[in-house]
Amino acid sequence: MTLLDARQLVVKKIDELKERVNKLKTKPSLVIIRVGEDFASGKYVANKIRKCEEVGIESKIIHLEESVKQESVEKIILDLNKDENVTGVLLQLPIPKHLDEDYLTNLIKDEKDVDGFTIGNMGRLSLGLEGNIACTPRGIITLLKEFSVDIEGKDVLIINRSNIVGKPLAQLFLKENATVTIAHSKTKNLKEKILMSDIVVSAVGRANFLKSEDFSPNTTIVDVSINFNEEGKMCGDVAKTDYEILLNEKQCNLTPVPNGVGQMTVIELIEQTIEIAEKKESR
């Protein structure tokens, strides 16, 4: 059926977000705390900063040494919470093992938590209340709606149970009246469950984990993972060699890697920062 390529949607969203920023009295400001030299994190942060510049919001990176003490990171977060000029705060994950990820993430004030990872924001999502939402799940729903993929009443299988993707995404699909199953490493008969699903979201993190024969015709396949194959090329969980069979023979919808969910995650982060600023001004 359709390759759910996010690039055109991202271009459209950037134009919309620029207009929204121009209507604000004060420019939104996003602060990203990055600890250590993780290569992938460096790439993600640079991409976020680029997109901030494109839409006209201010951004700043606080780059800390790998050996930084927990108390130092704690003080930075608490100071940013108090700073009236800071709209959103993001602790770029992963962080070094000697730091307490859960504790530091939850130090961020709920209203400044642009990642939607705090207990407060996750709890609001579970209860169907308004709050900040994890950006990857947000981006998946936005992308499916853009391509008019029907969600209501559909059987959805999410192969991931993390706090970043699986759990918040399940809540968003429930909000859209889908029937949701979460699968994970201990799930039995996974292949059978995939064949029985209308929408399959894979965030396993294994190149070529899924092939064309794993899916029924007309399935919508959302590939969240960013992996690298033997040649060092970016790929998802779904084998790229099978794209043609899935799209043309099986008439499936498919998010490509790259240019799929990854693009949406960053744009949703920017939009959520702008939303926080808009709510603040409307108050």
Please indicate, yes or no, if residue 129 is contained in any of the structural domains: no
Q: What is the pLDDT of residue 64?
A: 97
Report residue 233's pLDDT band, with 50, 70 and 90 as the boundaries: confident
Q: Which of 77, 111, 145 represents a domain boundary (last residue)?
A: 111
26-76 pLDDT, tens per residue?
999 999 999 999 888 898 899 999 999 999 999 999 999 999 999 999 999
User: Domain containing 153: what range?
Assistant: 135-261
- CA-based R_g, the chain, Å: 19
Q: How much is the pLDDT for 230? A: 80
Q: How many residues does the chain have?
A: 283
pLDDT at 43: 87
Overall average pLDDT of the 108-126 stretch: 97
Burial 67-79 (b: 16+ CB within 10 A, else e): ebeeeebeebbee
Domain presence at residue 122: no
Q: How many domains does the chain have?
A: 2
Distances in whole angstroms, Cα of residue 180 to Cα of each of 50, 159, 173: 35, 11, 7
pLDDT-derived band at 130, boundaries 50, 70, 90: very high
Q: What is the mean pLDDT of residues 93-109?
A: 96
Least confident of 54-58, 105-109, 150-154, 227-231: 227-231
Q: Is residue 188 located within the same domain as residue 76?
A: no
Predicted pLDDT at 229: 81
Q: Does residue 243 fall inside a structural domain?
A: yes
Q: Answer whether residue 7 is part of any domain.
A: no
Single-letter amino acid code for the residue at 247: L
Give the domain CATH number at 185. 3.40.50.720
Contact predicate 81/89, CB 8 Å: yes
**97 and 51 within one domain:** yes
28 vs 25: CA distance, rounded Å: 9
Share of the chain above pLDDT 90, in %: 93
pTM: 0.95
Is 117 within a domain? no
Query: Which of these three, 111, 127, 150, is where a domain ends?
Result: 111
pLDDT digits (tens, 9 = 90+) for 201-230: 999 999 999 999 999 999 999 999 988 888
pLDDT category at 257 given cuts 50, 70, 90 is: very high
Residues 93 and 139 in one domain: no
Residue 116 is assigned to a structural domain of this protein: no
For residue 206, tell me if it sits in a domain: yes
pLDDT computed for residue 77 by the predictor: 98
pLDDT tens, 3-40?
A: 999 999 999 999 999 999 999 999 999 999 999 998 88
Average pLDDT of every residue of the chain = 96
Q: Is the residue at 268 inside a domain?
A: no
Average pLDDT over residues 78-90: 98
- Same domain? 107 vs 139: no
> The domain spanning residue 36 has which CATH number?
3.40.50.10860
Residues 142 and 242 in one domain: yes
Look at the alpha carbons of 19, 20, 24, 28 in this order and tell me if their dihedral is positive or negative. Answer: negative
Same domain, 255 and 155: yes
